[in-house]
Amino acid sequence: ETGVTQTPRHLVMGMTNKKSLKCEQHLGHNAMYWYKQSAKKPLELMFVYSLEERVENNSVPSRFSPECPNSSHLFLHLHTLQPEDSALYLCASSQEIKSSYNEQFFGPGTRLTVL
């Protein structure tokens, strides 16, 4: 595998379900990110992790719970979501934070539908 991978690619869940999104980067990067992409809105940064430590939480509701067990893996745990949470969730990684080497490389995303 190369680059940034995400699973599942598609997910349909009810409002009472609990599910998790997984992201894995094979680039040797130290920083990982979760973004939400809704129709007709700019990409919204949700969380930033650097060396497994959360460095940014962009006022995201607690029904979204990130986890970063190591610098290659990032999870987004979902519970009691709302229909307006339906979106494309994108994971990204970069070499490090607070650096001029800040290109972010994105995975293909998980298309989430909440019924």
Binding site for another protein (CB under 8 A): 31, 33, 40-43, 45, 48, 50, 55-56, 88, 90, 92, 94, 97-100, 102-109, 111
Question: DSSP letters of 13-67?
Answer: E-TT-EEEEEEEE-S--SEEEEEEE-TTS--EEEEEEETTEEEEE-S--TTEEEE
Nearer to another protein, 52 or 80 (CB): 52
Q: Give me the least distance between CB of 109 and another protein, in Å please.
A: 4
Q: Give me the least distance between CB of 88 and another protein, in Å please.
A: 6
